[in-house]
């Protein structure tokens, strides 16, 4: 089924209005190119690069040749906030063998990457004093590639968490959960990574609490025993401790977090989902979900968390939702599903509007926090009109793209030179980047991910991978 059929912004506007959705399109662009003040720094425009793993590090975790290439293309393109991608704080918490991993040993190459990125940006755009560069630090929890490292059981999610994918064996109720001792020492691994990131020259670190990775899972770990589970205080202990430790030890680095405001539930083949729910009831665990109907959001706790993190000194919150492992349409509305995924269960405009609605709810509750919004790329070259609309109506502070910028790294340059985006360079949300990220069968155990549709280098890699 073809979803994206619009020739003009008016065609898109008409469909949005027919569906009764709130996606404001403003074709007179102004706010997107205006500076934004972030934690006392002036950031040159309101367009950001969202974290996008290229699964292209060396096996050691150092940025590889293709990492440098990607970051160069981003840096030259003109977005003024660059949110560097998922970088592991521990070996066992890496999502794949080519995920960036920041340690004393790999530190030098990260420092080189930062310096190079600034130089490229300065050479291409004339000024890097208004360019903000951050790094996302993470532990992949149940999605760690060596084995699932889970904070809490959740029967629906356990039933899609593979211990041995080839044999089809998933996590069951006998599978161990991470101990409090492990989590306590992991707080210091986050602190160490933040120290190294700051020393390498990153302006901010993102403590990743999204997409159902470990820190996200802890937020919803109601049935976990011990000091990191159960009560609100316990479930938020890890993030509060890490933020406090970083504030005390590395006061110069800004703290950001990418936060799931709604995990959703796995949409398994209908029968399995029904069986799982009827056996164990609706899931008690999960963040931002309504416990009467876990397929729906309840933003009470996410809003409360943003209040608490703000009070602790967090300056930037990037709003996201869903899990790439079981409901990727929530996180990244798409035209075509990735290999092995189910197709969009709703028209992508609904998924886009959900992103905008929940992001607006966070921004309107916290007008003094820099809120980043996502989920724009399916709108292709029209995304920038929605960005302008949302910025003007105070529903977001900065708009980022993930797949969009991977396909079209020089979009801001084009926008500034021609006043519009080129449809022939825009992302078409065909999930080829995700397919590459999931392609494992080469000598390094992981193919690099990039835009196989718009970038000849990755088109070639795609042919090898598939
Ligand atoms: C190949 C790929 C890699 C991604 N890597 C990350 C990542 O490292 N960290 C993260 O928070 N999100 C990651 N995402 C999610 C994107 O940042 C973004 O939230 C998502 O694609 C939706 O935004 P978009 O519609 O602009 O693409 C990734 C998505 C894809 C497709």
Interhelix angle 348-365/300-312, nearest 10 degrees: 50
Q: Are 406 and 434 in contact (CB under 8 A)?
A: no
Cβ contact 344:322 at 8 Å: no
- Pocket probe mutation, ligand 1, options 207, 402, 427, 451, max atoms within 8 Å of Cβ: 402
Cβ(268)–Cβ(159) under 8 Å?
yes
Predicted pLDDT of residue 273: 67
CB half-sphere exposure, 101, CA atoms < 13 A: 19
Output the residue whose Cα is nearest ligand 1's atom 10.
51
* Strands 169-170 and 162-164, bridge-based pairing: antiparallel
What is the model's pLDDT at position 233? 98
Mutate to test the pocket of ligand 1, among 51, 134, 209, 447 (most ligand atoms within 8 A of CB): 51
pLDDT score recorded for residue 275: 72
pTM, to two decimals: 0.98
Ligand 1 in reach of 376 Cβ (< 6 A): yes
* Blockwise average pLDDT, block size 10, the chain, 466 residues: 96 98 97 98 98 98 98 98 98 98 98 98 97 98 98 93 94 97 98 98 98 98 97 98 98 98 85 71 88 90 98 98 96 96 94 98 98 98 98 98 98 96 98 97 96 98 96
- Classify 26-431 by CATH class: alpha beta
Q: Is the CB of 210 under 6 A from ligand 1?
A: yes
Residue 270: predicted pLDDT? 67
Give dist(CA 120, CA 44) in Å, integer.
Answer: 16
Which ranges of 160-288 would DSSP assign to H, the alpha helix? Answer: 180-200, 214-219, 232-235, 237-249, 270-280
């Amino acid at each position: 089924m073809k979803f994206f059929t619009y020739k003009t912004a008016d065609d898109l506007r008409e469909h949005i209005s027919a569906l009764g959705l709130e996606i404001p399109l403003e074709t007179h662009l102004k706010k997107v190119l205006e500076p934004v003040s972030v934690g006392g720094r002036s950031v040159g425009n309101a367009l950001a690069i969202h974290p996008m793993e290229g699964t292209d590090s060396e096996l050691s975790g150092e940025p590889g040749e293709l990492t440098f290439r990607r970051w160069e293309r981003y840096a030259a393109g003109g977005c003024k906030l660059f949110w560097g991608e998922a970088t592991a704080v521990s070996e066992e918490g890496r999502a794949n063998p080519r995920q960036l991993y920041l340690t004393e040993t790999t530190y030098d190459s990260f420092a080189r990457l930062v310096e190079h990125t600034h130089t490229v940006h300065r050479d291409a755009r004339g000024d890097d004093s208004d360019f903000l560069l951050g790094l996302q630090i993470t532990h992949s929890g149940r999605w760690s590639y060596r084995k699932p490292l889970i904070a809490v059981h959740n029967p629906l999610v356990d039933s899609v968490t593979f211990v041995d994918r080839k044999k089809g064996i998933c996590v069951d109720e006998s599978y161990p959960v991470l101990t409090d001792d492990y989590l306590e020492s992991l707080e210091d691994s986050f602190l160490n990574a933040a120290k190294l990131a700051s020393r390498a020259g990153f302006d901010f670190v993102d403590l990743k609490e999204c997409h159902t990775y470990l820190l996200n899972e802890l937020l919803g770990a109601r049935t976990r025993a011990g000091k990191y589970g159960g009560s609100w205080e316990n479930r938020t202990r890890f993030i509060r401790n890490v933020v406090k430790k970083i504030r005390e030890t590395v006061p110069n680095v800004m703290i950001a977090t990418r936060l799931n405001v709604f995990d959703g539930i796995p949409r398994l083949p209908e029968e399995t989902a029904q069986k799982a729910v009827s056996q164990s009831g609706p899931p008690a665990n999960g963040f931002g979900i309504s416990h009467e109907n876990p397929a729906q959001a309840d933003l009470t706790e996410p809003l409360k968390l943003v209040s608490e993190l703000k009070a602790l000194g967090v300056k930037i919150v990037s709003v996201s939702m869903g899990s790439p492992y079981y409901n990727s349409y929530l996180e990244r509305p798409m035209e075509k599903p990735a290999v092995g995924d189910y197709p969009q269960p709703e028209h992508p405009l609904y998924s886009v509007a959900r992103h905008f609605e929940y992001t607006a709810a966070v921004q309107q509750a916290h007008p003094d926090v820099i809120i980043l919004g996502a989920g724009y790329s399916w709108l292709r070259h029209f995304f920038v009109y929605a960005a302008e609309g949302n910025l003007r109506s105070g529903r977001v502070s900065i708009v980022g793209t993930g797949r969009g910028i991977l396909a079209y790294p020089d979009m801001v340059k084009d926008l500034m030179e021609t006043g519009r985006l080129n449809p022939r360079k825009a992302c078409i949300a065909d999930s080829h980047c995700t397919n590459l990220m999931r392609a494992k069968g080469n000598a390094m155990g992981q193919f690099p991910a990039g835009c196989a549709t718009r970038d000849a280098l990755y088109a070639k890699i795609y042919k090898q991978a598939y």
